[in-house]
Structure 1
Amino acid sequence: MRSYLTFSLLFIVFMSCSESQKSEDNVTEKIKYDVVFRENLAGKFEKWSSGDSSFKYTYNYTDRGRGPEITEEIVLNDDNYIVSENITGVNYLKDSISENFKGANGSASWKNPMGEDEAEFDGDKLYFRHDGSPAVYEILAQLLVNSDNKKVDLYPNGEVELVDNFSITLSDSTSVNLVMIKGLEMNPRYIWLKDNAMIASISGNLHIVREDFSALRKELQSLQSTYEDEYLFKISKEVSNQIDKVLIKNVNVFSKDGSILENQDVLVDGNIIKSIKPSMGKVLNGTAQVIDGTNKTLLPGMFDMHTHNTKFRGLLHLAGGVTSVRDLANNKQLKQLSAQFDKNEIIGPNIVTFCGIIDGSGPFANQRNVVDNLEEGLAEIQSYKDLDYDQIKLYSSIRPEWVKPLAAKAHELNMRVSGHIPAYMTASKAIEQGYNEIQHMNMLFLNFMTDTIDTRTPLRFTMVANHGVELDLKSKEYLDFVELLKSKDILVDATMAIFENMFVSQKGEPSPTYSTIMNRLPLIEQRAFYSGGLPKSGIKVALYKESYQNMLNALYDMHQRGVSIVPGTDGLPGFLYHRELELYEKAGIPTVDILKMATINSAKITGTSDTLGSIEEGKNADLILIDGNPVNNISDIRKVEWTIKGGNLYFAEELYNKMGIKHFK
């Protein structure tokens, strides 16, 4: 018996070692990618094979205390479609994720943030995960390149297409391909391939580059930018309608005092409003193109007072009726993009305020224009002034003791000072030391907590989510603070919509911030709005909603007490702006006041009211036509039919179509 047991144990050990050796033999060397965020190495993406058609991935990067940490396992069939996928980890906002997909024997089942489901599956469609690594982009690019019709069906629904496949020789003589994909999101997705393997994915500030190509990242970025420009130049030519004389007949005009002038004829000559007269019922000027404005409202082009512009976002601004913006932190090439907008090479708004960001060094720095000491900060302000910037934005890692001299330097150069409140400082102290305005409502609420909070981290959100409901809007400290805002003429850039998405939305449910437009959007944007904002469960779901409601209450109270408030998004252009205005109305602010904030008030604040912000003879014809009356129903602001800016008329439906978005009709 003893010899039999000994033999059995030896056999088990031998078989275990054999299986272990077989597993190790199947594991390939890791393929590693650098994850570069805002020009800084922020994380890694790694891939290795655990079998002939099985792959494992890890993916992470950091952004001021945020950022995903993901482990992913994928099995492919012989046609390179996913038949098994398992994803675990945390998403960008550090909420847990667990997603899986399994397809076999003619059916598939899956679990993701939208719930669980199953359906028929023949193994010829690509399951596209919600939160995950960049692995799926490589798989998709490979499928498209090898597809006969250059299209791939997504599972359970959707379709993407290969728009172009550019063959390029790099400076080191390496031959690569740049694949341009449409159908996933509003902008084209670009994937770099060499020998059918992904070497880079460059999208905005996020660059994922295989380590052996890291030295060529800037070259890849520059080449891709050229192709992006060519694509956008083509769109501009296709959808821009240069106008000579246009008569907008029998339209209701929103005047600068907030009243509606009914049944007006508005004559536009090039880029100028020539006349505004009561409609005579017939066309007197036969040389003008006539647009029927019956039962519609003509508004000045609106101002988004908190943006971060890219060349792809301009279409969204104009489609949403926003013709002028403040850019509140960007790279130092922003003037070049603005010139492209102004010349209509690329469709985009007037950038009327250029604001340069400065942050202090540290683990949670913004990663753009970071300084190590006060002297570098002062020099950075001068460099922005030399670029003809109007404003300075201080960020969370700025040392509190630097604020006063930095603000003094900016004011000496006739520049405004705004920003986040630096860590270990209160809003009151920042105002006393030179701030002219404050970004984000959470920064105002933090004023009433403590100056010991490290607001460089996500605590700047979670502290307000957990304790915002406790702020008494009748307390002396609150009323004294509001009086300080008024007496110093401090501008509040509240960005209420981003906090609704952060505090109120729940994982697996459509975000209330985007629910009315989600079915109009491409796949990736739709799925992003099920992620749920800040992690929350149990009693915190109700608590966060109550804190957000108190933020709305404070917004209304500040408006009633005479604090200057401007509408800005700090997010998805157009759609988020519409929601921002809706939330102001939800807070209790009259629609007339809201529309004035969006137009003439913002024009005055940006120093452009001589030419923009109201419909008056002699002013620039930056105009939008609304199919409805937003004074009676603020949500009608979403019903933009067309926008005129810079002597060109753009139909919103055509702009949206270029981004894979359905028009409101």
Structure 2
Amino acid sequence: MKYLFLLVVFNLCLVCHTHAQSDTLQWTIQMGGQTSGLFKYLKNADGSYTEWFRFNDRGRGDSTVVHYRLNDHSYMTWMDAKGVDYFKKPIFETFSIQSGIASWENPVEKEQRKIEGDMVYIPLKARGGISYANFFQTPDHAVNLLPSGRQKLTELQEYTLKDGRKISLVSLSGTGLTPQYVWLDSQHNFFALPSDWFAILPKGDEGLNPELLAIQKGVEQNYYKELKTKFAKKVTSGLAVTHATLFNPKSGTAQPNSTILIENGTITQVGPDKSVTVPQGFQVVDAQGKFVMPGLWDMHVHYGQGTDGLLHLGNGITNVRDMGNSESMLDEKKQIDDGLVLGPRIQAMCGFIDGAGPYAGPTGARINSVDEGIAAVKKYKTMGYTQIKLYSSIKPEWVKPIAAEAHRNGMRVSGHIPAHMLASEAIDAGYDEIQHMNMVFLNFLGKDLDTRTPVRFHAVAQNAAMLDLNSAPVKAFIKQLVAKKTVIDPTISFFETMFIPTKGKPVPTMAPVVDRLPLDLQREYKSGGALEVPAGREETYAKSFQNMLKMVKVLHNNGVVIVPGTDDVPGFVLHKELENYVRAGIPNAAVLKIATLQSATVAGKEKTYGTLEPGKAADIILIDGNPLNNISDIRKVETVIKGQEIYQTKDLLNAVSIRYFK
């Protein structure tokens, strides 16, 4: 799901090659270093342009064709686009300017606006039809955008390739949350978008990704180091949090008028205000009227450099578990641990393993035999990973020996359930945890489905509503989960966005905060949910989500351990996940425990994190509200204490143009 957020960013900086010397140009799209698609540009005989953009991500992925015309200043004056979006929903988009009136239409917008001068239209779903030449025609290298905003280009660094070609790294600001980086050629035309996850590189120059990315990351890291210096208030003395309403995840209660003493990032004393003396010289944080609790955990992220760290901390998330990433994650974790950039503690990392083939996962080890899988486990262990994540293309007979090797190395095993295997079989073969609630429901739909593909979503959407949660098969499966102490990571909120049609309305995961976001992101998140719900099946899809939500409560009631994960936009979606647990019927206190002590325990970190007790890390959030009474108050985090550092969430969010909750 990480790509949904990435594509919002790429849509703001992917542009055409309007002054190219060749009439046809092509780029390769790579995901996790593997070729997955193409971006192609063609100048037609009539002076118009055509761009193709398509990629395959395990059966998902955009596929669009954009036709357009430019005026003498290289500004688009007409466009017609068709295709499908990431989840294969049909899309269309038109744009034109006539007599000073700009008109555009797509599946969720139909607007007209009088304009003066040249403006750049940003397509909502299609990708292409814009030119970097526009920026270089203005004194400040900035252009006005439609429907709204202004984007500025800054030239950062020139670079000469080994064959003598000169390229340059530039940043774009004014859209998205932080600057987006892109490489241009010597004629200021688009050259490349390098990335660990989703890269666009000139055909024939695919090997440049590591070289260009290293330079780009250096620039990005400097930016985020500056943010850390600006917003992390270092505590040089002892620290006291006084007058707090202090939540204890063990008891599920909150004690008013409490004081916490902290030295060198460790809690030394906790007790009533009247019984705890604040030593002279301690810095005091007055928590009068605030709900104080351990920092939140997101147990399903795919952490990326950039806004992720800021969004996590800005929403009270101080600890995360990475569920699969490139090996560059090791460097990112070290940067955070060394205090160079801001971010949550990456408490656990999962080594990602999938079977090689057309539906292989986007990162990690792609194996062709069980021996390769065992070797991958050993490699991940030496690199410091604590968990193995198996994916959909693993052959079912490989699971048991790979899981056994992971267990011999003291590593947990989790993941998707491989295609043509039941969840119950995966548990017997060694799974300690299952990712995503759809994998639970697929257990009752048989083994014939090819769940390497998006059928793993569609089949559940069409059938989950009919599953009787009181049936003998469901009860037997839950009994197995309890007996094997299998953990479930539901990511339930993602399926609300996927199954509930929201055309023209904000997606459910972001609806509570969408009006606080920059206008360009508001537009994206108001463009509808993920799946194309067949006409007449809306009620079925909605009931399927409701039954999945009920399953969360059934699992909890039966003692199955649940951990809160998002696999989505950092920070905000975790709040939605916790709200959905309460919506399912789990008591607020239990949900707060799930998001703190229970997560720390599953990560093997409960001795240091998860509660606010002497000897544990200062991992504390202050909330202007009481989530025991209203779980949505979890969104009102004001202050984050992470070890020796204090952050004000208002400052963090405002830094990326997100309005604070007040």
Shorter-chain TM band: over 0.9
Cα distance in structure 1, aligned partners of 2:479 and 2:568: 30
Query: Quick check: 1:547 aligned with 2:544?
Result: yes
| Alpha carbons 1:252, 1:295 under 8 Å: kept | yes
Q: Does 1:320 align with 2:315?
A: yes
- Per the alignment, residue 109 of structure 2 pairs with 115
Name the residue aligned to 2:599: 602
Is 1:248 the counterpart of 2:244? The answer is: no
Aligned partner of 1:619 in structure 2 is 616
Is 2:93 the partner of 1:93? no
Amino acid of the structure 1 residue aligned with 2:483: S
Tell me what 2:12 maps to.
none
Q: In the alignment, residue 372 of structure 2 is paired with which amino acid?
A: E
Matches within 5 A, 1:11-160: 29-50=23-44, 54-136=48-130, 139=131, 141-160=132-151
CA deviations 1:105-134 (Å, max 9, x no partner) are 121111123321111122422111111124
SS class of match (2:245): strand
CA displacement 1:258-307 (0-9 Å, x = unmatched): 11011222233331223223234999545223322121111111111111
Q: 1:159 to 1:505 in 2, by over 3 A?
A: farther
| Residue aligning to 1:335 | 330
Q: C-alpha distance in 1, partners of 2:21/2:163?
A: 31
Q: How many residues align?
A: 637
Q: CA deviation at 1:29?
A: 2.3
Q: Tell whether 2:580 aligns with 1:586.
A: no
Q: Does 1:647 align with 2:638?
A: no
Q: Which one of the candidate residues 262, 269, 277 is aligned to 1:268?
A: 262
Task: Give the corresponding residue for 1:479.
Answer: 475
User: Post-superposition shift, 1:477?
Assistant: 0.5
Aligned-partner residue type, residue 115 of structure 2: F
CA RMSD of aligned residues (A): 2.0
Q: Could you give the per-residue CA deviations for residues 585-626 of structure 1, whole angstroms, max 9, x where no partner exists? A: 111111100000001111122121111111112211011111
Over residues 452-505 of structure 1, what are the superposed CA-to-partner deviations in whole Å (9 max), with x where a residue is unaligned? 110000000000000000110110001111101001100001101111111114
Q: Distance in 1 between matches of 2:498 and 2:555?
A: 22
Whole-angstrom distance in 1 between the partners of 2:160 and 2:541: 53
Q: Distance in 1 between matches of 2:276 and 2:480?
A: 55
Offset of residue 218 of structure 1: 2.4
Change (3 A) 1:471 1:171: same
Question: 1:112 and 1:409, CA in 2 relative to 1: closer, same or farther beyond 3 A?
Answer: same
Contact 2:148 2:519 in 1 (8 A): no
CA contact (8 A) 2:66 2:128 kept: no
- Which of 218, 227, 239 does residue 231 from structure 2 map onto? 239
With normalisation by structure 1, the TM-score equals 0.92
**Which string of whole-angstrom CA distances, capped at 9 and with x for unpartnered residues, describes residues 607-646 of structure 1?**
2111111111221101111111111111111111121113
CA distance in structure 2 between the aligned counterparts of 1:411 and 1:114, rounded to whole angstroms: 49
Residues 249-398 of structure 1: matches in 2 within 5 Å? Answer: 249-256=242-249, 257-280=251-274, 285-312=279-306, 313-368=308-363, 369-398=365-394
How far apart, CA to CA, are the structure 2 residues paired with 1:235 and 1:27? 41
Tell me what 2:463 maps to.
467
Shift of residue 391 of structure 1?
1.1
Classify 1:221/1:615 alpha carbon distance in 2 versus 1 (closer, same or farther; 3 Å). Answer: same
Give the match's secondary structure for 1:448. Answer: coil
- Cα distance in 1 for residues equivalent to 2:390 and 2:503: 33
* Higher CA-based Rg: 1
Match of 2:635 among 634, 638, 641: 638
Alpha carbons 2:266, 2:643 under 8 Å: kept: no
2 CA distance for matches of 1:607 and 1:212? Answer: 46
Q: CA deviation at 1:210?
A: 1.9
Which amino acid is 2:220 matched to? E
2:209 to 205, 208, 217: 217
* Cross-structure match for 1:420: 416
Distance in 2 of aligned mates of 1:203 and 1:57: 21
CA distance in 2, matches of 1:295, 1:492: 35
Partner of 1:501: 497
Instruction: State how far apart, in whole Å, the 2-side matches of 1:283 and 1:416 are.
Output: 43
Structure 2 counterpart of 1:561: 558
Inter-partner Cα distance in structure 1 for 2:516 and 2:414: 35
8 Å contact 2:501–2:533 — kept in the other structure? Answer: no
The one-letter amino acid paired with 1:338 is K
Residue ranges of structure 1 left out of the alignment (5+ in a row): 1-25
Kept after mapping to 2: 8 A contact 1:27/1:50: no
2:224 counterpart of 1:229 = no
TM-score normalized with structure 2 length: 0.93
Aligned with 1:539: secondary structure?
coil
Match of 2:181 in 1: 190
Question: Does the CA-based 8 Å contact 2:33-2:196 persist in structure 1?
Answer: no
* Pairing 1:577–2:577 present: no
SS at match of 1:109: strand
1:75-115 CA-to-partner distances (Å, cap 9, x unmatched) read 22233322212110001100000111111212111112332
**1:352 aligned partner, one-letter code:** Q
Q: What is the aligned-residue identity percentage? A: 39
Distance 1:252 1:143 in 2: 55
**Partners of 1:282 and 1:309 in 2: how far apart?**
39
Is 1:400 matched with 2:392?
A: no
Give the equivalent residue in structure 1 for 2:484.
488
Unaligned runs of 5+ in 2: 1-19
SS of aligned partner of 1:352: strand
Please say which of residues 589-598 and 171-180 is displaced more in the overlay.
171-180
CA shift digits 1:184-224 (9 cap, x unpaired): 21232112111111011235511111225434232112211
Identify which range, 440-449 or 231-240, moves more after superposition. 231-240
Aligned match for 1:449, one of 442, 445, 456 = 445
Say whether the 8 Å CA contact 1:300–1:614 is kept in structure 2.
yes
Does the 8 Å contact 1:164/1:180 carry over to 2?
A: yes
Give the match for residue 20 of structure 1.
none
Mapped to 2, the partners of 1:80 and 1:294 lie a distance apart of 58
Q: Deviations over 1:296-344 (max 9, x none)?
A: 1111111111111112211111111111111111122322211111112
